[in-house]
Amino acid sequence: MSAGLTTHVLDTSREGPAEGVVVTLTRLPSDGDPETISRGTTNHDGRLDDPLLTETEIEPGTYELEFDVGTYYSERSSGSTFLETVPVRFVVDDADEHYHVPLLLSPGGYTTYRGS
C-alpha cells in the first residue's frame, strides 16, 4: 500500500463495520493553532471513501483523529451514552510509510492500534 493515512471503524458489539461515524483529522503543530485538515464519514464497510491524507499530503508531525461515536450510537438507539468522542493522537515520523489507524468500538470502550 502507498503512503498516506487511512482509518477503519469496527463495532465489536454489532460484530461488524461501523457505518456513519464522522471522523475528523487535525494537525497539531508544535507552534501555532491546531488545524482541521480532513473530515469524512465511514461507509458501509466502516471505512472512509477516500484517505484522510494521500501520499502527497502526508507530512511528519503530530495528528489527532476524533471519532464522533456518541452520534453513531444515539442514531442506533443502543441506549449507550457513555462515549461521545474518541480522540486518538499519534505521530507520523516517516511520510513515506502508510499509516492506518483502526478503531475497535463498543458502547463502553474502545481499542486502537497502528494497523497495516
State the CATH number of the domain containing residue 83: 2.60.40.180
Residue with cell 483523529: 65
**pLDDT averaged over the chain?**
93
Angle, CA 13 vertex, CA 10 and CA 14 arms, to 5°: 70
Measuring CA to CA, which residue among 23, 16, 74 is closest to residue 45?
Answer: 16
Q: How confident is the model at residue 74 (pLDDT cuts 50, 70, 90)?
A: confident
CB 4 within 8 A of CB 54: yes
Range 10-32 average pLDDT:
94
In terms of residue numbers, what domain contains 15? 4-112
Q: Is the pTM of this model over 0.85?
A: yes
* pLDDT of 81 strictly over 90: no
Helix, strand, or coil here: 73?
helix
What domain count does the chain have?
A: 1
CB 104 within 8 A of CB 10: yes
